[in-house]
């Protein structure tokens, strides 16, 4: 048995209530360095709220730890150095260049009236190079294609140099090839940088192939968490998604196929 | 190590150079033009002669030198300061609220200052005031600050998502209310209506070195704070939530920027009256010319705003000489078409 490391991210009984509606209910999860946790669940299950809670955008009850440190003791900037969030539909400022946008990732390392120094520019250049974005560096982001744009968003998060990376539906609005590109990139990055990755995912077949483990959220609770084959069962998907699906076990892993037959019939 | 150098899209020095040239042109023209025509080279030499370590003779008579230094220079300097302040404050408001229509008057600054000034004028105090403590600027300043405090208190909302909108709406409500009170006071004292209007339309006519010295510290301190916030304002362009995940304390940044911009604006309008439109057109013109980063918008707005208002004041003096137009009329009359030309001739909208 290898020695267990301190988890990069640990949630203990995390509850979120907004306007008396309980969006997350006693969620407990933990993610190791270099591990990828996929979060799946039907619409409104609390997937996005979970990421926002970890990023510090909603008030929580319970305990969130980043590398063993409770987040309550962290300042905004310390927290931003510990965890980066790529939102599902970020506001992309008109006319801002790729380089300037990625440079925003250096914000947690700068005081309110400071400007970026050579180190910040070097780190930004390194990230751009690693993600093959140098050629696009002076392009305004609003002129990029969907796949390029998603790489730029990930680049900004990497410039934050935080060991925990949260992504909300990173492949939405991408075609299937670009979805694979983005997920392969994340898979490579998490090993290279020992990142703990938490991503919400819509496509269950993709969710079965990339993350190490999946957490299935339903009504704000963790319905089940574990290896993909334990989470993505026809029974789970029927109960929590209200979906009729066939889960096929092929040579490349699990494939989730929607079917038209009514529940209960063969 | 990657040897890559990043393209930098910060402050473009050629636009700084253009701004400096415009300021110099505005100063020299402002000192030379007037009822008494002064030779251009004489004015130039006169100014140079007052620089340290420069010894030249301007050839101006003592009376002409007095016109330059006692009458025209304070007015020109006042124009520079007020223009720079209103412009940089406008740019900063637009960033803090992520709203292209935001300007220094958004939170009721103008209405508050107008009410304060009106109260002093109807109480029988002269609008142009000597004395060490002139009551009108103080009342205008107090009114402007009162309006901002009211707006901030009433518009502050616990919900971070809505706070920008509710602040702007509170500003609109406070401004309407204070304007209503001001109009009522004004109607009850129709004998002073001319004087009230002349203040509301703005004027630099009566500027003295004393006014300049009152205004200067406000302009220096508040514009330093605003220009220092330029990078953070760029971060805010990604929205409150994302800025927060980047480690920005959004509400604190917004408070600092709004307080600095409002304080500076209140100080400016308290001595100049209400000069409309500068806070909108100057930052947007800069944005269209030199890009959307606040790293260029804020410093360039200082320069372009200073030159714009000094030149506008010059126009106000010469168009119907020997009479003068209210400067607020000129800024809108010449500024609006100019702004529309810039807007139409650049491909990208602000």
Hey, which bits of A47-110 come out as E strands? 61-66, 69-70, 83-86
- Element containing residue A209 per DSSP (H, E): helix A204-209
Instruction: Specify the range with the lowest mean pLDDT, choosing from A205-219, B77-91, B238-252, B266-280.
Output: B266-280
- Given a cut of 70, whether residue A229 has pLDDT beyond it is yes
Q: Do B9 and A112 touch (CB under 8 A)?
A: no
3-state secondary structure of A217: strand
Q: List the one residue out of B29, B36, B38 whose CA is nearest residue B80.
A: B29
Question: What is the model's pLDDT at position B10?
Answer: 67
Query: Residues 110..139 of A with a Cβ closer than 8 Å to B: which?
Result: 110, 112-116, 121-122, 124-126, 128-129, 134, 137-138
> Using CB atoms, which residue from A55, A93, A128 is nearest to B4?
A128
How far apart are alpha carbons A173 and A142 in whole angstroms?
Answer: 15
Query: Residues 150..189 of B with a Cβ closer than 8 Å to A: which?
Result: none
Sheet containing strand A213-218, edge to edge, reads A83-86, A164-168, A196-200, A36-40, A213-218, A221-226
Domain ranges of chain A: 9-232
Q: In percent, how much of chain B has pLDDT > 70? A: 91
Q: What is the CA B70 to chain-centroid distance, rounded? A: 23
Query: Residues 85..104 of A with a Cβ closer than 8 Å to B: which?
Result: 85, 87, 90-97, 99-100, 103-104
What is the gyration radius of the CA atoms in chain B, in angstroms? Answer: 21
Query: Residues 211..250 of A with a Cβ closer than 8 Å to B: which?
Result: none
Classify residue B88 as exposed, middle or buried by CB count within 10 Å of its CB (0-12, 13-18, 19+). buried
> Using CB atoms, which residue from B1, B7, B237 is nearest to A96?
B237
Task: Read off the pLDDT of each residue in B77-88 and give the average, rounded to a whole number.
Answer: 95
**C-alpha to C-alpha distances, A68 to A11, A26, A194, nearest whole angstrom:** 10, 19, 16
Q: Which of B133-136's residues contact partners 24+ apart within 8 Å by CB, and which partners?
A: B136/B199, B136/B270
Task: Name the superfamily (CATH) of residues B61-345.
Answer: ABC transporter involved in vitamin B12 uptake, BtuC (1.10.3470.10)
How far apart are alpha carbons B234 and B228 in whole angstroms?
Answer: 12
Q: What is the mean pLDDT of chain A?
A: 90
Q: Do A56 and B245 touch (CB under 8 A)?
A: yes
Q: Do A57 and B245 touch (CB under 8 A)?
A: yes
Strand partners, A11: A29, A64
For residues B60 and B287, which has the higher predicted lDDT (pLDDT)? B287
How far apart are alpha carbons A159 and A153 in whole angstroms?
Answer: 10
Q: Do A76 and B249 touch (CB under 8 A)?
A: yes
Closest-CA residue of chain A to B230: A113
Q: What is the mean pLDDT of chain B?
A: 83
Task: Read off the pLDDT of each residue in B214-221 and give the average, rounded to a whole number.
Answer: 91
Question: What is the model's pLDDT at position B39?
Answer: 81
- Given a cut of 70, whether residue B159 has pLDDT beyond it is no
Q: List the one residue out of B311, B310, B288 whose CA is nearest residue B300.
A: B288
Task: Read off the pLDDT of each residue in A112-126 and give the average, rounded to a whole number.
Answer: 90
What's the first-to-final CA gap in chain B, in angstroms?
38
How far apart are alpha carbons A160 and A154 in whole angstroms?
Answer: 10
Question: What is the model's pLDDT at position B125?
Answer: 62
- Given a cut of 90, whether residue A113 has pLDDT beyond it is no
CB A41 within 8 A of CB A236: no
- Is A18 in CB contact (< 8 Å) with chain B? no
- Is B6 in CB contact (< 8 Å) with chain A? yes
CB B237 within 8 A of CB B98: yes
Question: What is the model's pLDDT at position B132?
Answer: 46
For residues B77 and B323, which has the higher predicted lDDT (pLDDT)? B77
Task: Read off the pLDDT of each residue in A116-135 and give the average, rounded to a whole number.
Answer: 92
Task: Read off the pLDDT of each residue in B283-295 and give the average, rounded to a whole number.
Answer: 89
For residue range B7-30, list pLDDT tens digits in order.
666 678 899 999 999 999 999 999
The pTM (predicted TM-score) of the whole model is 0.87
How far apart are alpha carbons A11 and B238 in whole angstroms?
Answer: 28
Q: Binning pLDDT at 50, 70 and 90, where does residue B157 land?
A: low
> Using CB atoms, which residue from A56, A83, A113 is nearest to B228?
A113
Please report residues of B whose CB lies closer than 8 A to that of A97: 7, 9
Lookup result for tokens 């023209």: B29
- Given a cut of 80, whether residue A12 has pLDDT beyond it is yes
Please report residues of B whose CB lies closer than 8 A to that of A56: 244-245
Q: In percent, how much of chain A has pLDDT > 70? A: 96
> Using CB atoms, which residue from B6, B242, B292 is nearest to A90?
B242
Say whether domain A9-232 belongs to CATH 3.40.50.300. yes
Q: Binning pLDDT at 50, 70 and 90, where does residue B1 land?
A: very low
Q: List the one residue out of A207, A81, A192 whose CA is nearest residue B247.
A: A81
> Using CB atoms, which residue from B5, B247, B292 is nearest to A95?
B292
Question: What is the model's pLDDT at position A26?
Answer: 93
**C-alpha to C-alpha distances, A47 to A50, A52, B330, nearest whole angstrom:** 5, 9, 56
Q: Do A108 and B6 touch (CB under 8 A)?
A: no
CA angle A88, B167, B268 (to 5 degrees): 120
For residues A78 and B36, which has the higher predicted lDDT (pLDDT)? A78
Instruction: Specify the range with the lowest mean pLDDT, choosing from A40-49, A249-258, B98-107, B220-229.
Output: B98-107
Task: Read off the pLDDT of each residue in B128-148 and give the average, rounded to a whole number.
Answer: 74
Q: What is the DSSP letter of B160?
A: G
> Using CB atoms, which residue from B6, B246, B295 is nearest to A124?
B6
How far apart are alpha carbons A259 and A12 in whole angstroms?
Answer: 37
- Element containing residue B339 per DSSP (H, E): helix B327-345
Reading the block at residue B34, the tokens are 């007037």
Please report residues of A whose CB lies closer than 8 A to that of B94: none
Question: What is the model's pLDDT at position B2?
Answer: 44
Please report residues of A whose CB lies closer than 8 A to that of B244: 55-57, 76
Interface probe with B: pick from A57, A82, A83, A95, most Cβ of B within 10 Å: A95
Q: Do B231 and A116 touch (CB under 8 A)?
A: yes
For residue range B218-234, list pLDDT tens digits in order.
999 999 999 999 999 99
ipTM over cut 0.85:
yes
Task: Read off the pLDDT of each residue in B317-340 and give the average, rounded to a whole number.
Answer: 81
How far apart are alpha carbons B310 and B327 in whole angstroms?
Answer: 10
């Amino acid at each position: 048995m290898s020695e267990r490391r301190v988890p990069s991210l640990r949630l203990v009984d995390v509850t979120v209530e907004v306007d008396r509606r309980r969006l997350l209910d006693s969620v407990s999860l933990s993610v190791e360095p270099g591990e990828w946790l996929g979060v799946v669940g039907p619409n409104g299950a609390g997937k996005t709220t979970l990421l926002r809670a970890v990023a510090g955008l909603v008030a929580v009850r319970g305990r969130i730890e980043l590398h063993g440190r409770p987040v309550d003791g962290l300042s905004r900037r310390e927290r931003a150095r510990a965890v980066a969030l790529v939102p599902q539909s970020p506001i992309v400022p008109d006319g801002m260049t790729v380089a300037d946008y990625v440079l925003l990732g250096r914000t947690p390392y700068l005081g309110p009236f400071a400007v970026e120094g050579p180190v910040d520019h070097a780190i930004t250049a390194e990230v751009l190079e690693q993600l093959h974005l140098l050629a696009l560096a002076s392009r305004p982001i609003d002129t990029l294609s969907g796949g390029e744009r998603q790489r730029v968003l990930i680049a900004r998060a990497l410039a934050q140099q935080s060991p925990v990376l949260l992504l909300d539906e990173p492949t939405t609005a991408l075609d299937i090839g670009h979805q694979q590109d983005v997920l392969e990139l994340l898979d490579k990055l998490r090993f290279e940088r020992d990142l703990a990755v938490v991503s919400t995912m819509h496509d269950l077949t993709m969710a079965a192939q990339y993350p190490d483990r999946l957490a299935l959220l339903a009504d704000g609770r963790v319905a089940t968490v574990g290896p993909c084959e334990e989470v993505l069962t026809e029974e789970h998907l029927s109960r929590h998604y209200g979906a009729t699906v066939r889960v096929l076990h092929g040579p490349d892993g699990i494939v989730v196929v929607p079917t038209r037959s009514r529940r209960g019939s063969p | 190590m990657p040897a890559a150098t990043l393209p930098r899209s910060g402050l473009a020095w050629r636009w700084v150079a253009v701004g400096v040239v415009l300021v110099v042109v505005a100063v020299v023209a402002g000192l030379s033009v007037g009822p008494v025509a002064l030779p251009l080279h004489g004015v130039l030499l006169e100014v140079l002669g007052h620089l340290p370590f420069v010894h030249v003779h301007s050839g101006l008579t003592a009376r002409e030198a007095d016109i330059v230094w006692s009458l025209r220079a304070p007015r020109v300097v006042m124009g520079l300061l007020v223009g720079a302040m209103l412009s940089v404050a406008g740019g900063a408001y637009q960033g803090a609220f992520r709203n292209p229509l935001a300007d220094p008057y958004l939170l009721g600054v103008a209405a508050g200052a107008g009410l304060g000034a009106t109260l002093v004028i109807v109480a029988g105090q002269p609008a142009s005031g000597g004395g060490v403590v002139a009551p009108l600027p103080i009342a205008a300043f107090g009114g402007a600050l009162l309006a901002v405090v009211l707006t901030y208190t009433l518009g502050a909302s616990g919900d971070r998502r809505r706070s920008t909108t509710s602040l702007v709406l509170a500003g609109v409500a406070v401004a309407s209310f204070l304007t209503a009170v001001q109009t009522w006071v004004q109607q009850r004292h129709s004998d002073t209506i001319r004087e009230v209007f002349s203040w509301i339309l703005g004027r630099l006519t009566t500027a003295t070195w004393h006014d300049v010295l009152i205004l200067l510290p406000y302009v220096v301190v508040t514009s330093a704070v605003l220009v220092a916030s330029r990078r953070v304002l760029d971060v805010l362009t990604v929205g409150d939530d994302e800025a927060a995940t980047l480690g920005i304390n959004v509400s604190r940044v917004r408070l600092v920027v709004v307080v600095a911009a409002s304080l500076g604006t209140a100080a400016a309008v308290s001595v100049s009256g209400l000069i409309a439109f500068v806070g909108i057109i100057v930052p947007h013109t800069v944005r269209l010319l030199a890009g959307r980063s606040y790293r260029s918008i804020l410093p360039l707005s200082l320069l372009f705003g200073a030159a714009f208002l000094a030149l506008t004041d010059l126009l106000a003096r010469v168009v119907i000489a020997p009479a003068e137009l209210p400067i607020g009329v000129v800024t809108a009359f010449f500024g609006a078409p100019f702004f529309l030309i810039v807007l139409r001739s650049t491909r990208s909208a602000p």
